[in-house]
Structures are given as C-alpha cells and as structure tokens.
Amino acid sequence: MTLRAVFPGTFDPIHYGHIDIARRGCALFDEMVVAVYDRPLKSLLFSPEERIELVCTAFEDEARISVQGYRNLTVDFCESIGAKVLLRGLRVFSDFEHEFRMALANRRLAPGIDTVSLITSEEHTFLNSTTVREIASLGGDVSSMVPEFVREALGEKLSVARAAGKDVYNSLRD
Ligand code: ADP
C-alpha cells in the first residue's frame, strides 16, 4: 500500500524551513503532496498560482514530491487524494499550541487522518515567510533563507508593488 502524506501550508513564499520539512518527510512516506492553500485568513504577497509555481520549482528534482493547490478543508483535500497523513513542521514552542489545536480539530473532522509533526532543523528555527517578506521589503539579504529563484521573485514582486506606489512594508503583515 502506498503511504501518501500531505504537507499543507501557505508558502508565501516557500523558504528553506519548508523545503527541509518536505524533504525529510519524503524519507518517511512513499509520496508527498505539498498542498498550497488558496485563501488563508492572512494577507498575502504572492497569488496562489505564483506560490504554486515557486513550490514546484523548489521540488522539481524530487520525483516523489508533487504540488497541488487547494481551497477546501485540508482534511477534505487529504481524503480526496487518499492521503492518510498530514505533515506539519514545528519551530519554536509557541508553534506547538496552534499545531496541537489544529491537529485535534482535524482529527475530530477526519479520524482516519493523522498529523505527523517534524521538529525543524536547528538552522531554520527562526525562519518564517513573514520574516522573509519583511526583510526583503526593507532591502535586506534573504539569500540564506530562500533559494535564488524565490529571491528573484521577491525582488520582482516588490519592485512592481513599489512602482504602483504601494507601502510594501506595511501591506505585507499577516
Ligand atoms: P500555515 O499558514 O499553514 O502555517 P506556512 O506556509 O506558514 O503555512 O507553513 C506551512 C508549514 O511549514 C507549517 O507546518 C509550519 O509550521 C511549517 N514551517 C514553516 N516554517 C518552518 C521552519 N522554519 N521550520 C520548520 N517548519 C516550518
């Protein structure tokens, strides 16, 4: 039987912390679907299509990782593709309460799906997409946090926003 896992998230944009969790998850499961959530309750920099494209590029060398967008409940998406495991990453202790509540809510909704959480690698502990967006919007160097193609996409996106007269820093908050 194929053990398929879903790694869901916003990925706005994908960074090395996400990539590390997906690749380590790949060693545990037969197949991994990185699922890009279409409309989270937070403000976004990249469109769903752009986020999906960046995630696809990040894993183009990994045959067992595929990428899909979704806009329904995460557990419904898992059921629709026959996935029994939800993969999540844990950084600092403050992530735990949120992840714990979500795992319990998801299990109430879909008892057949289990959440597996992987602890982040030490070097990615502080890393999240909000930090990447903030640093990039203030002209800082994010090359140790995201792959080159993400850094380029951030540069393009931010210069388009600036050219349109947007206050890029304040419009990027979650
Ligand atoms: P969400 O809005 O679902 O939290 P994110 O894109 O922020 O979406 O995160 C997706 C998943 O990746 C979450 O499980 C999150 O905990 C995990 N994650 C994010 N950053 C890191 C990191 N630096 N190390 C490990 N896991 C991470």
Active-site residue, 101 included: no
**What local confidence, expressed as pLDDT, does residue 95 receive?**
83
- Which amino acid is located at 16 in the chain? Y
Cα–Cα separations (whole angstroms), residue 65 to 33, 56, 106, 134, 147:
6, 9, 23, 29, 17
Check if 48 has its Cβ closer than 6 Å to any atom of ligand 1. no
**What local confidence, expressed as pLDDT, does residue 171 receive?**
57
CB 87 within 8 A of CB 7: yes
From 129, 133, 137, 157, the catalytic residue:
129
**What local confidence, expressed as pLDDT, does residue 106 receive?**
98
What is the 137 CA–ligand 1 centroid distance (Å)? 20
Q: Give every residue of the chain whose pLDDT is below 70, as ranges.
A: 167-174
CB 54 within 8 A of CB 150: yes
What is the 163 CA–ligand 1 centroid distance (Å)? 30
Check if 88 has its Cβ closer than 6 Å to any atom of ligand 1. yes
**What local confidence, expressed as pLDDT, does residue 163 receive?**
81
Active-site residue, 166 included: no
pLDDT tens per residue, range 131-142: 999 999 999 999
**What local confidence, expressed as pLDDT, does residue 172 receive?**
58
Mind giving me the DSSP string for 26-42?
Answer: HTTSSEEEEEEES--SS
**Domain extent listing, the chain:** 4-122
Q: Which residue reads 């053990």 in tokens?
A: 3
Check if 25 has its Cβ closer than 6 Å to any atom of ligand 1. no
**What local confidence, expressed as pLDDT, does residue 50 receive?**
97
CATH 3.40.50.620 for the 4-122 domain, yes or no? yes
Q: Write down the pTM of the prediction.
A: 0.93
CB 115 within 8 A of CB 78: no
**What local confidence, expressed as pLDDT, does residue 117 receive?**
96
Mind giving me the DSSP string for 63-90?
Answer: TTEEEEEE-S-HHHHHHHTT--EEEEEE
